[in-house]
Amino acid sequence: MKKEEAEKYILAGQITKTVVSKAKKDIKAGQKLLEIALTIEKNIEGAGEGKAKHAFPVNLSINENAAHFTPGTDCELVLKESDVLKVDIGCHIDGFICDTAFTLNFDNSHAKMIEATELALEEGLKIAADKAELGKIGTVIEKTIKEKGFNPIQNLSGHGLGQFEAHASPSIPNIASGNTKQLEEGNAYAFEPFATDGEGYVREGIQSEIFALEKPVLVRNIHARKMLEVIAEEYQTLPFALRWIEKKLKMPEFQRKVAIRELLRARAIRSFPVLHEQPGKIVTQAEKSFILFDGKATVLC
Ligand code: MN
Ligand code: MN
């Protein structure tokens, strides 16, 4: 990592920090999820003297949903006092990403589970600067969450961050493993423990509101071709929301649906279905990004 790259990571972190503290103040029970998402995204777009861009759509996953939910244009969901809301935010400067998340629960019925993920994240970050082995990070995270009486989600993990790559290798486990690969100087990472009162395993749901470019292939349908052009230009390989495309393309709904279906079939794009625990279970998340640069770990946000 060059010095100017580290500076871009740090700027992305500063912007994210401002957006996060504003979101923590602004989000209230009774608000529509769509309204919450649009406000957060507006605060990211153009921050840092116009340099900040979305690394991915704001994820607002509730209760048993762990990740990958973002409200669509017609989403009528309203946040309740008792909901457990994971707010996952990503911003980038020239492709250098800060990825961060926190959990809100206004009636405090799941405060202990929120505390478990926050503590697990802290314990993980404590050994980050020592270039810990990946398996050891998982061990610390699992132990912390289990001591609080919950299960870590075994098939969700932290990850590396690359330029225009929101999920780069390596995958950083949230459970104990024998992986002796170490964190490396000059790289960026995100740790993101998840805790649950469920079994600790998420499955893909039916709904997908988030997509990303897979490979630019030639498609016959003219609307699909136009959509693919816009995706490649605007979002590169980073995830985008269906509602962003709707706004950008102003294509009638029917054409849009055909185009999306065609792009998925041609494997030009991939979908990120909502990931959920079993119905009635609760999931909490905490996430921070950091760089290992200049011999130390610098937490971005
Ligand atoms: Mn995230
Ligand atoms: Mn992440």
Q: How far is the CA of 178 from the centre of ligand 1 (A)?
A: 25
| 83 has catalytic annotation | no
For residue 114, pLDDT over 90 is answered with yes
Whole-model pTM: value is 0.97
For residue 156, pLDDT over 90 is answered with yes
Query: CA triplet 149, 153, 157: central angle to 5 degrees?
Result: 130
| 167 has catalytic annotation | yes
Q: Where does the pLDDT of residue 98 fall: very low under 50, low under 70, confident under 90, or very high at 90 and above?
A: very high
Q: How far is the CA of 274 from the centre of ligand 2 (A)?
A: 15
Q: Determine contact, residues 215/238, Cβ cutoff 8 Å.
A: no
Stretch 56-69: mean pLDDT: 98
pLDDT of amino acid 263: 97
DSSP alpha helix (H) spans, the chain:
3-26, 33-44, 111-126, 134-147, 222-235, 242-249, 253-265
Q: Determine contact, residues 98/9, Cβ cutoff 8 Å.
A: yes
Q: Where does the pLDDT of residue 130 fall: very low under 50, low under 70, confident under 90, or very high at 90 and above?
A: very high
Sign of the four-CA dihedral 55, 60, 65, 69: negative
Q: How far is the CA of 52 from the centre of ligand 2 (A)?
A: 18
CATH of domain 210-271: 1.10.10.10
| 130 has catalytic annotation | no
Q: Where does the pLDDT of residue 287 fall: very low under 50, low under 70, confident under 90, or very high at 90 and above?
A: very high
Q: What is the pLDDT of residues 250-266, one digit of tens each?
A: 889 899 999 999 999 99
| 88 has catalytic annotation | yes
Q: Where does the pLDDT of residue 233 fall: very low under 50, low under 70, confident under 90, or very high at 90 and above?
A: very high
pLDDT of amino acid 189: 98
Instruction: Please give the CATH superfamily to which domain 3-205+275-299 belongs.
Output: Creatinase/methionine aminopeptidase superfamily (3.90.230.10)
Structural domain boundaries in the chain = 3-205+275-299, 210-271
Q: Determine contact, residues 6/293, Cβ cutoff 8 Å.
A: yes
Q: What is the pLDDT of residues 189-212, one digit of tens each?
A: 999 999 999 999 999 999 899 999
Nearest one of 69, 48, 49 to 59, comparing CA atoms: 69
Ligand nearest to the CA of 101: 1
Ligand nearest to the CA of 158: 2
Stretch 42-61: mean pLDDT: 95
Q: Where does the pLDDT of residue 127 fall: very low under 50, low under 70, confident under 90, or very high at 90 and above?
A: very high
Q: Where does the pLDDT of residue 216 fall: very low under 50, low under 70, confident under 90, or very high at 90 and above?
A: confident
Q: How far is the CA of 190 from the centre of ligand 1 (A)?
A: 8
| 192 has catalytic annotation | yes
Catalytic residue among 41, 64, 83, 99: 99
Q: Where does the pLDDT of residue 46 fall: very low under 50, low under 70, confident under 90, or very high at 90 and above?
A: confident
| 4 has catalytic annotation | no
For residue 151, pLDDT over 90 is answered with yes
Average pLDDT, the chain: 97
Tokens of 63: 């209760």
Q: How far is the CA of 91 from the centre of ligand 2 (A)?
A: 11
pLDDT of amino acid 250: 87
Q: How far is the CA of 161 from the centre of ligand 2 (A)?
A: 8
Sign of the four-CA dihedral 68, 74, 76, 79: positive
